[in-house]
Structure 1
């Protein structure tokens, strides 16, 4: 079976499109436009996009089981009531000595929110390094899950048996695996599961957002590679890849009927309008990939 790529939403993001999350009950794709400060709900069939602007950089949006959404606004995690547009601050990350902001975030199967931080960009895609940490939010508490100075905290995923958590740090080009205890969310024994430095930057780019399929294989967006790639996290080997018509792919998620479709976000950050037109005119768009031969699982929501 040959995968097919469709331009689902051209120029969906003016800056960096990220954080795709399939909302099955509404048929909508959630995503953010980070530096435009917006969170979005895009109806895949009608092509209607709803948008709310937050106070600062928005890097994640996930549904909350009590209604509304958990969103990030630079250094804060907040609850958003979509109907009223009311934003309630929940937590702000503690200072680590450098300017930082939240980046990617997802929920585990128990409904805890995991979200990493990164240094604030001094230029597009050029953050201060070593300012990131990995946080976990559950039932009224925000804690540091890993105090390692990460460069660009990124994609998250969990194995089907709930014993392994995967986490990306983009600059060293590492996908880490942790032993994961689903009963309390404890993580331990961090190790490199996939080392992107085995391949050239041209071949795989920087690991960015990711998702996991029903067979336990990781699908990872390679920023600056124009690819989404499938890896075996046990052996660290690349299994397959899909080429997209945009260089700066940022993240991916499964959705649609039977979770057989893949939605891929991309970034237009760092390009002038003239460069966009000449070099990568589809950066910032959202793509739908069909015919992968792999299916995903429903994304988890936050349990307050």
Structure 2
């Protein structure tokens, strides 16, 4: 099956990340990490609007069941009242050390937010020189309690769960690993870490660094390949790449399924200082015609 790639919002970000599709409004929410902006792209009208959270770092925007959004600001988690009323109230202050930042997050089926951290550089990451093992993986329960689950992560990134919530998938970009864990959704715990895909292996060549991730209804992973200009579909049972979608820029950062029937793949990207031969870098892309579909995204229950 042949896919079609379209830049639906051109050059909207310096470092686009954290896409979340809201099926109730047919809107894509995403962030511009080092600018502190959160964006809302309305797929019906084509309008892209933004809010600045008053900080240089914003990595998460996810709708809440009670209305508004859970957002992150550097080392804090907060509630954004609504898109039209930009009041931000902190709910977890200084989760991480000042040298770090919160990076990427997703909500599990119980309404619990999972998020990670990494060292906070001043620009788009230089993977070769990134300080190692300074990040962690956390969860935020609806009651506001924060728990640390894994330490010694370098750049915490993409995560998602299988259909029966027995497995959580998780990425450390600099380690170039896609991991799986046994997942207990009631207790909110992970265990039995193992490697699903090793991007440093010669069996998966030219994939760059795994970044954001989503899962389709067939249980296959879609992983954004930073510095490789691709999103790859991976079979987590075998660790093999079974499909590759190539984009007109190298720094592909994350992806999620959206559209009325969740058959569109929305993809974020980053823009280098000089666009050069990749004038669409920093755009939001939509991929259609993939022949697969994703699932409704979970909202934060807190």
TM-score range normalised by the length of the shorter chain? over 0.9
Structure 1 unmatched ranges of 5 or more: none
Partner residue of 2:163 out of 154, 160, 164: 160
- 1:200 CA drift (Å): 8.2
Does residue 1:36 correspond to 2:42, yes or no?
Answer: no
* Alignment correspondent of 1:183: 186
Please give the secondary structure, in 2, of the residue aligned with 1:77.
Answer: strand
- Give me the CA root mean square deviation: 1.5
Q: 1:154-194, CA deviations, whole angstroms, 9 ceiling, x for partnerless residues?
A: 00100001100011000010011110011121111111111
Q: How far off its partner does 1:139 sit?
A: 2.1
Change (3 A) 1:20 1:74: same
Partners of 1:83 and 1:65 in 2: CA distance: 17
Equivalent position of 2:19 in the other structure: 20
Shift of residue 36 of structure 1? Answer: 0.8
**Are the equivalent residues in 2 in contact too, given 1:122–1:128 (CA < 8 A)?**
no
Aligned residues: 297
- What are the ranges of 5 or more consecutive residues in structure 2 without an aligned counterpart? none
Aligned to 1:61: 61
The more displaced of 154-163 and 120-129 is 120-129
Structure 2 CA distance, aligned partners of 1:6 and 1:111? 32
* Between structures 1 and 2, the one with greater helix share: 1
**Could you tell me which residue of structure 2 aligns to residue 114 of structure 1?**
114
**1:93 to partner: Cα distance:** 4.0
Contact 1:135 1:142 in 2 (8 A): no
Q: Relative to structure 1, is the Cα distance of residues 248 and 201 closer, same or farther in structure 2, using a 3 angstrom cutoff?
A: farther
Distance 2:197 2:245 in 1: 18
Shift in Å at residue 122 of structure 1?
4.5
Contact kept in structure 2, 1:210 and 1:220, CA below 8 Å: yes
Q: Out of 283, 286, 290, which is 1:292 matched to? A: 290
**TM score, norm. by length of structure 1:** 0.94
Once the two structures are superposed, residues 221-277 of structure 1 have per-residue CA deviations (whole angstroms, 9 ceiling, x without a partner) of: 000111000001121111101011111000000000210000000001xx22xx21x
Alpha-carbon shift at residue 143 of structure 1 (Å) = 2.8
Q: Determine if contact 1:121/1:128 at 8 Å carries over to the other structure.
A: no
Q: Which residue of 2 aligns with 1:49?
A: 48
Map Cα deviations across residues 198-240 of structure 1 (whole Å, 9 max, x no partner): 2489721100000000000000000011100000112111110
Q: 2: distance between equivalents of 1:48 and 1:222?
A: 27
Whether 1:104 and 2:104 are equivalent positions in the alignment is yes
- Residue 263 (structure 1) aligns with: 266
Query: CA 1:48 to 1:222, structure 2 compared with 1: closer, same or farther past 3 Å?
Result: same
